[in-house]
Amino acid sequence: MAQVITDEKMVDEVLERGVEQIFPDKKTLKEKMMSGERIRLYCGYDPTAPSLHIGNAVTINKLSQFQKLGHEVIFLIGDFTCMIGDPTDKLATRKKMTREEILENAKGYQKQAEGYLKFDGENPAQIMYNSEWNDKLTFKELIELSSNFTVGQMIQRDMFQKRMAEEKPIYLHEFLYPLTQGYDSVAMNVDLEIGGNDQMFNMLAGRTLQKNINNKEKFVLTLKLLADETGKKMGKSEGNAVFLDQTPQDMYGAVMSWTDGTIAVGFEMATNISMKEVKEIEEALKDEKNNPRDLKMKLAYEMVKINYGEEAANLAQDNFIRTVQKKEVPDEVASIEASIETSIVELMMKEGLAGSNSEAKRKIEQGGVSLNGEIIKDIQTKISKEMNGKILKVGKREFRKIVVE
C-alpha cells in the first residue's frame, strides 16, 4: 500500500495548479487529503476516437499528480457512456457507435496515457470500463436512478438550452448521459472525480447520486480549459489539436502552431515543470526582448519529452529546426520505390501524398512539389533515371527519397 504524502505545499499545488473549481470547496478536500486518508479518484475517457488529445492529457496529468501523492487513481474508459454520446459541446446528437468501434478506439488509450500516468510499479493506476456495471443495470434500477433528477434540472444545462433555442432536437437518451456518468461514481464508490470545466454538470450529477445512494460526499475538481486569453481553445475545430498518438515530430509541430497566448497555460497544465519555472516563463513572455517562439519551442520539447522521452524530444526539435526554420531536408527520409515512366501524380497518389489525382495536380500547379529543391511545374512529369536518390518534397513537411526501380 502506497504511503500517502501530506506535505502541505505539495497538496496545495495539486489542488491549485490548473484548477478551476472544487466542489464543495477546496478547504474540505484539502483537510481530507492532509488527514493522510488515501482517497479514491477517477477521470473518465469516452473512446469516441482512436486517440486521446491534449485536453485529455491535462486531466491525465492531474490524475498523475494525485498518484504521486499516493492516492488511488482509476483511469476509466467510458465504453458504455460512449454509446450514448456526451451532449457536452455538441449541438447535434452524436451518432451511435458500435461496441467494436469503441473497443478498438480504447485499445491505445493506456499506451497514450503512459507518458503521464503509471500503470505499473508502486501505486499503479487501475483501468476500468464502465460497461462493467452499466451493462448490468436493469430498467427498474434505471428508473430509480432517474428519479433523483427532475426534467427541469436536466434542461437547465447550457447545452440543452442552446439546442432548444436553436430548435435542435434533444433525444431522451441524452438525458441519461449525466445519469450514467454519475452512476460511475456510485459503482466505483469514489471520493473524487476530476475533469475539464465543461464536465461540471455531469460530474455534479455523480455527486448527487453518491450522496443519495451511498450517503457519501464526492468531491469534484474541475480543470481550466487549455485556451488563450481570448478564450480560443485548443482543439480539432480550431485546427491546432495535439493528439497523444502523433509522432514526436508531428506533436512538436502541432504545439508550435498554438497561439502565443497558450504558452504559459500549456506549461502549467500539460507539463510538470515546477510552478516556479512556470511563473518565470510567464514573466519572460512579458519581456519584449524574448521571442515567444523560443519559449514555445521549450513547451513543445517538454510535451514530446513527457510522451516519448528525451531522445525523441531532441530529435523532434532538431527536425523542426531543420525542416521548418532552415527549410532543409530532415535527417531521415523514407525511401519510396518508383518505376520509370510513372507520373509524379501517380506516385503521389500511391504514397498517400494526395487524396486524389486532382489534389496532386493542384499541389504541383501551386508550386508545392519539388525535387531536390527544384520546383516541379509540369503535372505531366514522369519518373526518370536521373531522379534516383533525389528528395521529393510535397508541401511543407512531406519528404520522400526516390529509388528508381
Partner RNA sequence: GGGUCGGUGGCAGAGUGGUCAAAUGCAUCAGACUGUAAAUCUGACGCCGCAAGGCUUCGGGGGUUCGACUCCCUCCCGGCCCA
Total chain residues near RNA (CB under 7 A): 49
If one asks whether residue 213 binds RNA (CB under 7 A), the answer comes out as: no
C-alpha–C-alpha distance, residues 168 and 233, integer Å? 24
Nine-digit cell at 290? 524574448
If one asks whether residue 358 binds RNA (CB under 7 A), the answer comes out as: yes
If one asks whether residue 381 binds RNA (CB under 7 A), the answer comes out as: no
If one asks whether residue 379 binds RNA (CB under 7 A), the answer comes out as: yes
Helix, coil or strand: residue 25: coil
Nine-digit cell at 310? 528525451
C-alpha angle 4/127/175, rounded to 5°?
A: 110
**Residue pair 199/88 in contact by the 8 Å Cβ criterion:** yes
If one asks whether residue 307 binds RNA (CB under 7 A), the answer comes out as: no
Question: Which residues 242-281 are close enough to bind RNA by CB under 7 A?
Answer: 249-250, 252-254, 256-260
If one asks whether residue 291 binds RNA (CB under 7 A), the answer comes out as: yes
Least separation, in Å, of the C-beta of 158 and RNA?
16
First to last CA, the chain: 61
Binding mask 165-204 for RNA (x = CB under 7 A): -xxxxx----------------------------------
C-alpha–C-alpha distance, residues 6 and 35, integer Å? 7
The Cα-based distances of 318 to 111, 266, 292, 297, 299 in angstroms read: 25, 21, 18, 11, 15
If one asks whether residue 357 binds RNA (CB under 7 A), the answer comes out as: yes
Q: Which of 49, 164, 340, 403 binds RNA (CB under 7 A)?
A: 164
Of 16, 4, 24, which is closest to residue 192 (Cα–Cα)?
24
**Residue pair 391/331 in contact by the 8 Å Cβ criterion:** no
Q: Which of 17, 207, 361, 400 binds RNA (CB under 7 A)?
A: 361
Q: Which of 21, 28, 274, 380 binds RNA (CB under 7 A)?
A: 380
Q: Could you list the residues that contact RNA (CB under 7 A)?
A: 91-92, 164, 166-170, 237-240, 249-250, 252-254, 256-260, 291-293, 296, 319-320, 323-325, 355-359, 361-363, 366-368, 379-380, 394-398
